[in-house]
Structure 1
């Protein structure tokens, strides 16, 4: 198929690889963007596997909690200047509080009331008052029957408001203060490491398969026999799970323990078993791309190549 300059530019932004490498990857994979990303990774060319999810939008992430439930919301604005505005911060805080009384879905939160107006209407009115476009983008809620849902906001600009918010649900009949303490530590860990899943079996099958395929291609580049390649791949998959699964990750507060082991160790002080049942991590603007800088010269060079 024909490989357009726009496709090459998109792949370059996702991977950080050079324009000519991106064009070759797209040619080799018949224009399949995901396959091209994997092709570059297998060749050791990709410089930033996760650039596709870089932070690009302005606004704030807000959290609210009532013990056994907590929510996290994201409200976007056009500029960081507006995000530092007291009126905008009040709106985000009110949206989070309103979300606590819902199931946490975008639809339910949008219809929830802030005073005598819905969340959706409140934001619409604010656009006219503040003079900048803004949007309620997403929300999530975690609840437990017994225990706590701990929250953490990284680099908070105000109470419960910042650029990155985390919820961690702990099911336990143990002491609430101990649960809040270990829960907050785990939430800080999640903020730092951005795990893909709670347990290995929760990792998306397609994601795991993509990683395996990349590892296979990388191992084959070594020229070793298939039997050795298989062992190499299995070892790399174990390492992959250790790096992306929350309970298996080295705990940032004590790297000698995994997160799972650290939570287990807290059970004695809590006086009851503790189970992490879920987590949510919202980083402002992740998955939204800013307008890229001008690559005209590079694109022209590729188009002529």
Structure 2
């Protein structure tokens, strides 16, 4: 074989190898892109972060989804605290009331955001659950071993200091949610009640968010502590009383023998029963052989002065 023919043969073989390597590279690259897309979709679904941030995290950690999620949470937490500082002056009057009743204990909380759109977001609703369960756990530890009726009211900084999972505070959880959703938020207030075995807790939520099961959420909530009632019918009675408290907004309990003072009546017992205008709440309770001992009403977004009217 002549030297020129040998060179032509070598060039052809090299070209073939190069083409094969290029095709293989393209094929391998397509496989990686497909894998990246699947991981990207999963990370986006699991965390709720934007596609851009999820893609950045996967690229940073060579498609390790666990490290990518941890990094995203850390960044959201940092960004959340920064945003919380920047957005602190913006009004947050929307949000949700969260209400949870379990046996002889109940908790009701209010968490605020800026818009109704964010209030419908599952990440915000998870924050409401976190606040409710953290408040209940705190109160259970505080009253452990005690008996009788116990009621606890927390607000602002007292709530923000409560612990959630792995030592994080509610303030941390709020900052993380702000980082994810980009709105100012605030944990406004919470009330927890514990009752003796012979007492009952009624509850009612108005404007409830559909799909919620463990923690009821809505715009108006009420807890009513009472005794008596027909055996087996206390839950229905408690709901009826809670509905009245939400609808008529009493400010105090009053006495059983108080006389009604018209449309401006703000005492619960002399008020006309919401579901039956022929009787007062006190008259209804006598017929049920029941007695209301306490109640709490929350309206999302109300100011302290409005709640006291």
Aligned equivalents of 1:148, 1:77: Cα separation in 2: 32
Relative distance call for 1:178 and 1:162 in structure 2 (3 A) is same
Equivalent pair of 1:144/1:171 in contact (CA under 8 Å) = no
1:208 aligns to what? none
| 1:165-210 C-alpha deviation (Å, 9 max, x unpaired) | 11111134963x4222111101000111101111159xxxxxxxxx
Alignment of 1:1-305 (within 5 A): 57-101=93-137, 102=139, 103-106=152-155, 108-116=158-166, 117-145=168-196, 146-158=198-210, 159=212, 160-172=216-228, 175=231, 177-199=232-254, 239=261, 243-267=265-289, 274-287=290-303
CA-to-partner distance for each residue in 1:252-299, whole Å, 9 max, x for gaps?
A: 1111121122122123xxxxxx3211111110111289xxxxxxxxxx
Q: Distance in 2 between matches of 1:242 and 1:83?
A: 33
- Kept in 1, the 8 Å contact 2:159–2:187? The answer is no
> Aligned residue pairs: how many?
193
Gapped regions of structure 2 (runs ≥ 5)? 1-91, 140-151
SS at match of 1:239: coil
Note if contact 1:93-1:161 (Cα within 8 Å) is conserved in structure 2: no
Q: Counterpart of 1:300?
A: none
TM-score norm. by structure 2 comes to 0.57
Which is further off, 240-249 or 258-267?
240-249
- Structure (1 or 2) with the larger CA radius of gyration: 2
What residue number does 2:58 align with?
none
Secondary structure at 1:255 match in 2 = coil
- How much does 1:131 deviate? 1.2
Q: How many angstroms apart in 1 are the aligned matches of 2:201 and 2:253? A: 15
Q: Which one has more relative contact order, counting CA pairs under 8 Å at least 6 apart?
A: 1
Q: Is the 8 A contact 2:252 2:268 kept in 1?
A: yes
Q: CA deviation at 1:120?
A: 2.1
Query: SS at the partner of 1:260?
Result: helix
Show structure 1 runs of 5+ residues with no match: 1-55, 202-236, 268-273, 290-305
How much does 1:57 deviate?
1.2
Structure-1-length-normalised TM-score: 0.58
- SS for the counterpart of 2:261 is helix
Shift of 1:64: 0.9
- Partner Cα distance (1:276, 1:82) in 2: 36
Give, in angstroms, the shift of residue 118 of structure 1. Answer: 2.1
Aligned to 2:42: none
Q: Counterparts of 1:154 and 1:255 in 2: how far apart (Å)?
A: 21
| Aligned equivalents of 1:178, 1:152: Cα separation in 2 | 15
- CA 1:82–1:189: 2 relative to 1, 3 Å: same
Cα distance in 1 for partners of 2:195, 2:158 equals 20
